[in-house]
Amino acid sequence: MTKRACVIGWPIEHSRSPAIHGHWLATYGIDGTYTKEAVRPENVRAFLASLASCGLSGCNVTAPHKQAALAAADHKDASALAIGAANTLWLESGRLCASNTDAYGFMTNLARSAPGWDRIDAPVAVLGAGGAARAIVHGLLEAGVTEIRLFNRTHGRAEELARSYGPRVKAYPWSEREQRARDAGLLINTTSLGMVHAEPLDMDIAALRDDAVVVDIVYVPLETDLLARARARGLRVVDGLGMLLYQAVPGFETWFGVKPEVTPELRALIVADIEGR
């Protein structure tokens, strides 16, 4: 029987998930479909309640439904509970199960793209305190990072995030980002600064350590101004596309029964899409 999954969001037109999962379905010769569904916020609960009757094995969830998806689930795994949002749902004996694979996606990509990043015995600096930052901080803490310095334009959000994760996470004013990130081994931009149509991130990186790794989760454009400057300085850089590709792995395995590979071929396919080729 054809296995079916989808991604829901509002809006959903720009989601790259169908291209990622479609590539894997074709690669592994699986009898399955993966579509995108525009679901209005007021219809999320009804949509999720109808998964089984629609013949769906589960779905990915993107903005603005990640919190509603968690609330609607009967079973929530540790990552979804810690992050407070769900991006991957599936049915198990009729029960709706929820996970958040963003932390897995971020950490797996980091390990592949900057091996040895965790050998640098230094704090991690995280810019931003939104949903993506929550997932990334969770992943970093699970990996054993001992000090995370958070900077956010709206300081209260950084304080709240730090409080919810405990003493290894400290919030500092946005204006102190340059000075307090100097000795960081890893600098991560989780804000939307640097994204196409947004302003670039205003942060001088001249004083960063020579062995620092700079990560941006923005992937349109693939090479943000931050990454271009870090590369020019000779630092190791990690772009945002890898996180998007790796976060899709657990869902595909759950719905379709094969753990898929993130290959250069898949990456090239999505890069071509981003670059409008």
Interface contacts to ligand ATR, rule CB under 6 A: 128-133, 152-154, 157, 190-193, 199
Q: Give the ranges where the chain is alpha helix by DSSP (H).
A: 17-27, 44-49, 66-72, 78-83, 102-113, 131-142, 155-165, 177-181, 225-232, 241-247, 249-256, 264-274
Beta carbon nearer to ligand ATR, 89 or 129: 129
Find out whether 260 and 250 touch, Cβ atoms under 8 Å.
no
Comparing CB distances to ligand ATR, the nearer of 36 and 102 is 102
Residue of 3, 36, 66, 259 marked active site: 66
**Could you tell me the smallest distance in angstroms from the CB atom of residue 100 to ligand ATR?**
12
- At its nearest, how many Å lie between ligand ATR and the CB of residue 7? 16
66 is catalytic: yes
Nearer Cβ to ligand ATR, position 36 or 134?
134
Least distance (Å) between residue 134 CB and ligand ATR: 8
Residue among 7, 154, 193 nearest 88 (CA): 7
Please report how close the Cβ of residue 91 comes to ligand ATR at its closest, in angstroms. 26
As a three-state string, the secondary structure of 95-126 is: EEEEECCHHHHHHHHHHHHCCCHHHCCCCEEE
Q: Quick one: 83 or 145, whose CB is closer to ligand ATR?
A: 83
Residues marked active site are found at 66
